[in-house]
Structure 1
Amino acid sequence: MQAFRSAIEAHDLDAVEALLAEDVVFTSPVVFKPYHGKAITAAILRGVARVFEDFRYERVIGDADGRDHALVFTARVGDREIGGCDFLHLDESGRIDELTVMVRPLSGAQALQAAMGAQFEQIAREAQQAQDRSGL
Structure 2
Amino acid sequence: MSIETIERYRRALETRDVELGLSAYAPDAVVRSPLTSRVRFTGHAELRPLLEVAFSHLRDVRFSTDTGDSSTRVVVYSARIGDEEVEEAAVLKLDEDGLIAEATLFVRPLPGLVALMDAFGPDIARRNGRTFAARFLSVATKPLLAMVRSGDRRAVPLAGPRP
TM-score (norm 1): 0.81
The reply on whether 1:36 has 2:42 as its aligned counterpart is yes
Q: State the Cα distance separating 1:32 from its structure 2 match.
A: 2.5
Task: Name the counterpart of 2:123.
Answer: 119
- Matches of residues 58-73 of structure 1 in structure 2 within 5 Å? 58-63=64-69, 66-73=70-77
Runs (4+) of structure 1 exceeding 4 A deviation are none
Query: Can you list the C-alpha shifts for 1:24-51, whole angstroms capped at 9, x where unaligned?
Result: 1110111332222221122202211111
Q: Distance in 2 between matches of 1:12 and 1:82?
A: 20
Q: Specify which of 80, 86, 93 is matched with residue 90 of structure 2.
A: 86
Task: Flag structure 2 segments of 5+ consecutive residues without an equivalent.
Answer: 1-5, 130-163
CA contact (8 A) 1:40 1:124 kept: no
CA contact (8 A) 2:49 2:127 kept: yes
Task: Name the counterpart of 2:25.
Answer: 20
% same residue: 32
CA contact (8 A) 2:61 2:77 kept: yes
- One-letter amino acid of the structure 2 residue matched with residue 100 of structure 1: T
Q: What count of residue pairs does the alignment treat as equivalent?
A: 123
- Structure whose CA Rg is larger: 2
Q: Specify which of 78, 99, 105 is matched with residue 103 of structure 2.
A: 99
**Range that drifts further, 11-20 or 98-107:** 11-20
Task: Flag structure 1 segments of 5+ consecutive residues without an equivalent.
Answer: 126-136
Q: State the Cα distance separating 1:3 from its structure 2 match.
A: 2.5
Structure of greater relative contact order (alpha carbons < 8 Å, 6+ residues apart): 1
- One-letter amino acid of the structure 1 residue matched with residue 59 of structure 2: E
Q: Distance in 1 between matches of 2:8 and 2:125?
A: 29
CA contact (8 A) 2:32 2:104 kept: yes
TM-score (norm 2): 0.68
- How big is the alpha-carbon RMSD for the aligned residues of Structure 1 and Structure 2? 1.6
Q: State the Cα distance separating 1:6 from its structure 2 match.
A: 2.4
**Range that drifts further, 88-97 or 115-124:** 115-124
Task: Name the counterpart of 1:134.
Answer: none
The structure with the greater share of residues assigned to helix is 2
